[in-house]
Structure 1
Amino acid sequence: MDKFTVLTGVAAPLPMINVDTDMIIPKQFLKTIKRTGLGKNLFDEMRYTPDGKEVAEFVLNQPAWRQASILVAGANFGCGSSREHAPWAILDFGIRCVIAPSFADIFFNNCFKNGILPVVLPQAQVEALMAQAQNGANATFTIDLPNQTITAPDGSTTPFEVDSFRKHCLINGLDDIGLTLMKDAKIATFEAARKQSSPWL
């Protein structure tokens, strides 16, 4: 998993509440078990017409936000089914941080496990950041995870809270496998002792 320390980039505004995981990545794209390749289908039913043409009005199809690495969204983001493909699609598109007033619990947890930082802020603060995100490519945000701050295009700084263990994992690029491998020596010692005491296993 890629480390997350300081991210500077364009933020795409998505002023919608209750964006569920089927909207993030529709069910027909869930056949794959690969974490890559889903970015092109992120928000598929909002980004494309039934015949595959881009919907010009959708934010990620507009030139100013095509390279967005931050998403500012409405409340209850990531609700619906627990598909992990949703954060996979977000990450594969290039978004590393989602800011919203609230998230669905399973989606929130899956973000951390896949190198995405979900930031919860009060509604008024999200709306203020959303307004600045409307300035598109001319307005960049900086997400500083070690210092837990968001610096907006106007220079204002907004602090945010994050669980200390999850912060540690993101900064060091540790997913569940990475955390397990940190105990590789102890696992090897246990396996060797087990082989000696129970060679029939």
Structure 2
Amino acid sequence: MKKYETVTGRAIPMNRADVDTDQIISKEFLKRIERTGFGPFAFDDWKNDPDFVLNNPEFKGAPIMVTGPNFGCGSSREHAPWALEDLGLKAIIAPSFADIFRNNCAKIGLLTVVLPQADCDYLISRSEELNSAELVVDLATQTVSTRDGSWTRSFQIDPFVKDCLLNGLDEIGLTLKAADEIASFETKRSPLYPSTAALA
């Protein structure tokens, strides 16, 4: 996982509440065996509406999404964060997230930012009115601001999640931090038990 860096760019105004994981990525697209390639199928059903925000070329490649409460509810499919990441998103801002979805995002380096409803409403309206307006999401300082600096808000994040994101540590990376301790344990482990050491 890459180290998380400050994100600057347009914000997709997804002005909807209770966006569930089945809408983010429909079940018919879950047959892929790779973790990549899901982006083109994100919100596939909603794309049938010509006025759907992702059909607007102004938001193509935008790294930030601002949306309504309870984003990512529904099933626990990991494919939903994968699809959003593959779509190009680096940060999602909402009043609240489904817990499992938020944890799945953290595991792949996709930042979820909780801001009050009024702040999300402001950012959505700003993005809808000014397609070229850009936001800055700074994980190190835990702030979201407009690029011109006229508006700034702070957000909270679990310190462990923040550390993992800033240092690019997924579950494998966290395990490898203890590689020396694991190797030492293996040398003292009884030969009666199966070895977990890598084969040469």
**TM-score over 0.5 for the alignment?**
yes
Alignment of 1:85-104 (within 5 A): 85-104=79-98
Deviates more, 1:153-162 or 1:35-44: 153-162
Query: Which stretches of structure 1, 4 residues or more, deviate above 4 A after TM superposition?
Result: none
Quick one: which of 163, 186, 192 aligns to 2:187?
192
Structure 1 residue aligned with 2:15: 15
Cα separation, partners in 2 of 1:142 and 1:172, compared to 1, 3 Å: same
Cα separation, partners in 2 of 1:38 and 1:193, compared to 1, 3 Å: same
- Structure 2: 5+ residue stretches without partners: 195-200
Distance in 2 separating the partners of 1:33 and 1:177: 19
Alignment of 1:47-126 (within 5 A): 47=47, 49=48, 55-126=49-120
- Structure 1: 5+ residue stretches without partners: 50-54
Distance in 1 separating the partners of 2:193 and 2:18: 54
Root mean square deviation, CA, Å? 1.4
Superposition deviation, residue 80 in structure 1: 0.3
Structure 1 residue aligned with 2:178: 183
Deviates more, 1:88-97 or 1:128-137: 128-137
State percent identity of aligned pairs: 51
Structure 2 residue aligned with 1:46: 46
The answer on 1:33 being equivalent to 2:33 is yes
Deviates more, 1:96-105 or 1:1-10: 1-10
In the TM superposition, what whole-angstrom CA distance separates every residue of 1:117-171 from its partner, at most 9, and x where no partner exists? Answer: 1011111111111112224541111100000001124521111111111000001
Number of residue pairs the alignment of both structures matches:
193
Letter aligned with residue 18 of structure 1: D
Structure 1 residue aligned with 2:198: none
Contact 1:38 1:88 in 2 (8 A): yes
* Matched position secondary structure for 2:172: helix
